[in-house]
Amino acid sequence: MKKFKIGIIGTGMRTMFLVNEILKKEELEILAVSDISQHSMEQLCSSYEKEWDKYLDYRDLLNREDIDGVIIASPDYCHEEQAIAAFEAGLHVFLEKPIAVTLEGGKKVLEARDKSGKTLLIGFVLRYNKAYRKMKELIASGIIGEVKTGWVLHSVGAGSDWYFHDWHGTMANTGGLLLQKGSHDFDIINWIVDSKIDRIAGFGSQDFFGGNKPNELVCQCCEERNVCSEAIVDRNISWKRPDGNQTEVLYNQWRNKCVYREEIDVLDNHQVMLEYKNGVKVSYLECHYTPDDNREYTFIGTKGKLKLDDANDIITVQLRNGMYDRKEIITYEHLQSSEGHGGGDKYILEDFVYALETGEQPNAGGEAGYEAIEVGLVAHRAIKEGKVINL
């Protein structure tokens, strides 16, 4: 068994938990990490009691000759530049979504991949989650017939926690939340429908977040902290490492800016209509100020209806055998594990290892990454221009 040596760019919360799964993989060995924050790198290393090499400049990491691949988990606006540099260094790349924050940027990443001859895995971890794989399997089996329409509802109760207290709050950094958050869902929809997008329409608004507070204001220094519903609560989170020991970090250390600050220009409410070239029509709703956190996927075909309820870890299939015969229901429960992203982190790393071993492009590859941001960016454009856009 070959052990592949890897580097990691970006040592924030996503990396903190992904490393927990990487350390379980005998085929992977972390040699170095990079981040513009020395503290963040030292915290990651100390949390796992490891002495990985640390680089403030990611290019110094890429210049090493003993690394086979790199995991890029930096902020979205860094993805294009860092992925291209990694390919130019002759490395395989696991790139967190989105592939880039512009269509031109996405194209450049794909061009760099092709020129390098290396592999590109996009961090669409939902594709590797058992529940979503089961949904794909069931629909592909024809159990609900030919898919004709779908409704996808993404309720983001933790919207302020994850997307408005930090760098995610500006369009320049993310390309919009239909990329940062919605690209997961657009990838799954594209994967299920298995066709190219034809037309996109959308409505959206900033209903709750943003405002006139200073950009420099942080929760801990705010006079309204005790009466603000969105104030960050300082707390530690702990988890068990692969070696059996417990470790912990301050949960909100990366996120404490005011959610009502002036610079926030991303939308917090989106309603998007998608029409594919095969005629399938799907609606997508994403709201960041609901009280619940859940993804609900519903697809309707010529023989029945499938619904995935992520929060309750259940898939139900209701069959329509005739106008008066439509009560048969099949239920699939307990699909997701307690591991990261419902087991998705484990399986996406297996695909990364497969790409390193074979040189073959993985399941969630660069094209999937580009097609997901294409939906998100065109949807934002449709919202802004108030019209249906043909691709």
Per-domain boundaries in the chain: 4-125+344-362, 127-209+266-337+372-390
Q: Is the pLDDT of residue 21 over 90?
A: yes
Q: Mapped to the 3 state alphabet, what secondary structure does the chain carry? A: CCCEEEEEECCCHHHHHHHHHHCCCCCEEEEEEECCCHHHHHHHHHHCCCCCEEECCHHHHHCCCCCCEEEECCCHHHHHHHHHHHHHCCCEEEECCCCCCCHHHHHHHHHHHHHHCCCEEECCHHHHCHHHHHHHHHHHHCCCCCEEEEEEEEEECCHHHHHHCCHHHCHHHHCCHHHHCHHHHHHHHHHHHCCCEEEEEEEEECCCCCCCECCCCEHHHCCCHHHCCCCCCCCEEEEECCCCCEEEEECCCCCCECCCECCCCCCCEEEEEEEECCCCEEEEEEECCCCCEEEEEEEEECCEEEEEECCCCEEEEEECCECCECCCEEEEECCCCCCHHHHHHHHHHHHHHHHHHHCCCCCCCHHHHHHHHHHHHHHHHHHHHCCCEEC
Determine if residue 80 is left, alpha or beta; phi over 0 gives left, psi from -120 to 50 gives alpha, anything else beta.
Answer: alpha
pLDDT tier at 1, thresholds 50, 70, 90: confident
pLDDT tens digits for range 254-277: 889 999 999 999 999 999 999 999
Average confidence (pLDDT) over 11-31:
96
Q: Is the pLDDT of residue 104 over 90?
A: yes
pLDDT tier at 339, thresholds 50, 70, 90: confident
pLDDT for position 342: 86
Q: What is the mean pLDDT of the chain?
A: 96
Determine if residue 174 is left, alpha or beta; phi over 0 gives left, psi from -120 to 50 gives alpha, anything else beta.
Answer: alpha
pLDDT tier at 341, thresholds 50, 70, 90: confident
- Dist. CA 184–CA 61, nearest whole Å: 29
The four Cα atoms 18, 20, 25, 29 give a dihedral, to 10 degrees, of: 80
| Strand-pair category, 92-95 with 120-122 | parallel
- The CATH H-level superfamily of 4-125+344-362 is NAD(P)-binding Rossmann-like Domain (3.40.50.720)
pLDDT tier at 179, thresholds 50, 70, 90: very high
Percent of the chain topping pLDDT 90: 91
Average confidence (pLDDT) over 374-379:
98
pLDDT for position 203: 98
Average confidence (pLDDT) over 327-332:
91
Q: Which residues contact 264 (CB under 8 A, 6 or more apart)?
A: 164, 169, 170, 206, 209, 210, 211
pLDDT for position 391: 93
Integer-rounded Cα radius of gyration of the chain: 21
- Dist. CA 81–CA 387, nearest whole Å: 32
Which residues are bridge partners to 199 per DSSP?
275, 390
Q: Are 56 and 34 in contact (CB under 8 A)?
A: yes
Residue 217's CB: how many other CB atoms inside 10 A? Answer: 18
pLDDT for position 161: 86
pLDDT tier at 200, thresholds 50, 70, 90: very high
Percent of the chain topping pLDDT 70: 100
Phi (first) and psi of residue 263, to 5 degrees: -70, -15
pLDDT tier at 322, thresholds 50, 70, 90: confident
Q: Give the C-alpha distances (Å, rounded to integers) separating 7 from 34, 58, 125.
A: 8, 10, 19
pLDDT tier at 238, thresholds 50, 70, 90: very high
The four Cα atoms 114, 374, 293, 74 give a dihedral, to 10 degrees, of: 40
pLDDT tens digits for range 358-369: 999 999 999 999
Average confidence (pLDDT) over 324-332:
89
- The CATH H-level superfamily of 127-209+266-337+372-390 is Dihydrodipicolinate Reductase; domain 2 (3.30.360.10)
Least confident of 200-209, 232-241, 303-312: 232-241
Buried-state track 176-215, b at ≥16 Cβ within 10 A, e below 16: bbbbbbbbbbbbbbbbbbeeebebbbbebeeebbbeebee
pLDDT tens digits for range 54-67: 999 999 999 999 99
Q: Is the pLDDT of residue 159 over 80?
A: no
pLDDT tier at 158, thresholds 50, 70, 90: confident
